[in-house]
Amino acid sequence: MTKIKLADSKVTELKQVCAKFDNQKNELINILHGAQELFGYLPAEVQEIIAQQLSVDVAHVYGVVTFYSFFSMSPKGEHPISVCMGTACYVRGAEKVLDEFKRILNVKIGETTPDGKFSVSSLRCVGACGLAPVVTVGSKVYGRVTIEEVQQIINEYQ
């Protein structure tokens, strides 16, 4: 694993996040949310600091991080693309839309394009089933997406 260097100011902020929850270990998940908001992802170094602040084993923190799909250990793309794979979207063809994103960007689920621009993931139900199939790019939601529209959506961010 490549070591990354965290800026001191960010480390201070991270410690403040922990302190906000009184360094309580039962607040670990809330703290991880805060940390991911801060860094965009949860690299090993961040988990080590959290473990230290909360006086828990880093293996425990890692065990929790890898349990929940919301937490990521690799940075997301500049424009994170998520394809909803809830049932409603699935029966309306979300899998084909996802395949098209993977094909055009040449990445697998959870991966980021080499230029760091796009990452592709699937998620479970954004609750916009009326618009199925649904794709989100960042916070923007695209509804009733067809395979033909995939390239257009990508073009918007090129």
Partner 1 sequence: MAKVKTLEDLKRMRESLQSELSLRENSDTPEKLVQIKVSMATCGIASGAKETMSFIMEELYRRKIDAVVTQTGCMGYCHSEPTIEVQLPGADPVVYGNVKKERAQLIIDQHIIAGKLVDGIIPGIYSTPDNK
Partner 2 sequence: MAKFKNHILVCAGTGCRASEGEEIVQELKTAVSQNQLENEVQVVRTGCFGFCEKGPIVKMIPDNTFYTQVKTADAKEIVEEHIIKGRQVQRLLYENPEDATRISDSKHMNFYKKQIRIALRNCGFINPENINEYVARDGYTALGKVITEMTPEDCIDIIKQSGLRGRGGGGFPTGLKWEITNKVESAEKYVVCNADEGDPGAFMDRSILEGDPHSVLEAMAICGYCIEASVGLIYIRAEYPLAIQRLKIAIEQARDLGVIGDNIFGTEFSFDVEIRYGAGAFVCGEETSLIQSMEGLRGEPTVKPPFPSVKGYMGKPTNVNNVETFANVPVIINKGAAWFASIGTEKSKGTKVFALAGKINNVGLIEVPMGTTLREVIFDIGGGIKDGRKFKSVQTGGPSGGCLTEKHLDVPIDYDNLLESGSMMGSGGMIVMDEDDCMVSVAKFYLDFTVEESCGKCAPCRIGNKRLYEILDKITKGKAQFEDLDNLRNLANVIKDTSLCGLGQTSPNPVLSTMDNFPEEYLAHVHQGKCPAKQCKALKEYVINAETCVGCTLCSRVCPVNAITGDKKQPHLINAQLCIKCGACFAKCKFGAISIQ
Partner 3 sequence: MSQIKLTIDNKTVQVAQGTSIVDAAKQIGVNIPTLCHMKLEHVGYENKPGGCRICVVELEGRKNLAPACKTICTEGMQVSTHTLRVINARRTVMELILSDHPAECLTCVKSGKCDLQTRAQELGIREIPYQGEQSKYKEDKSPAIIRDMDKCIMCRRCEMMCKQVQTVGCLSAINRGFESVVAPAFEMDLEKSTCTYCGQCVAVCPTGALSEIDNTRKVIAALVNPNKTVIVQTAPAVRAALGEEFGLEPGTLVTGKMVSALKKIGFDKVFDTDFAADLTIMEEGTELLNRLQKHLAGDKNVKLPILTSCCPGWVNFFETNYPDMLDVPSTAKSPQQMFGAIAKTYLAEQMKLKREDLVVVSVMPCLAKKYESQRKEFQVNGNPDVDLSITTRELSQMIKGANLNFNELHNEEFDNPMGESTGAGVIFANTGGVIEAAVRTAYELHTQKTLEKVDFHELRGFEGIRSATVDFDGFPLKIGIAHGLGHARQLLNEVKAGTSTFHAIEIMACPGGCIGGAGQPYHHGDTNILKQRAAAIYREDAGKAIRKSHQNPFIIKLYDEFLGEPCGEKAHKLLHTHYFDKKPKVK
Q: Which is nearer to partner 1, 88 or 147 (CB)?
A: 88
Cis ω before 114 (30° cut-off from 0): no
Which pair of structure tokens corresponds to residue 86? 């809830």
CA distances from 107 to 81, 82, 86, 103, 110 (A): 12, 13, 21, 7, 8
Smallest gap from residue 121 Cβ to partner 2 (A): 11
Provide the 8-state DSSP code for 66: T
Do 122 and 110 form a contact (C-beta atoms < 8 A)? no
Largest CA distance in the chain: 52
Contact flag: residue 145 with partner 3 (CB under 8 A): no
- Chosen from partner 3, partner 2, partner 1, none, partner binding at 32 (C-beta under 5 to 8 Å by type): partner 2
Alpha carbon separation from 37 to 10, 12, 78, 117, 124 (Å, rounded)? 12, 15, 14, 19, 20
Among 6, 58, 123, 137, binds partner 2 (CB under 8 A): 123
CB of 157 to partner 2, least distance (A): 21
The reply on whether position 49 binds partner 3 by CB under 8 A is yes
Under the criterion CB under 8 A, does residue 58 sit at the interface with partner 3? yes
90 binds, among partner 3, partner 2, partner 1, none (CB under 5 to 8 A by kind): partner 2
- Residue 48 binding result from partner 1, partner 3, partner 2, none, given CB thresholds of 5 to 8 Å by partner type: partner 3
| 23, 33, 38, 52: residue in contact with partner 3 (rule CB under 8 A) | 52
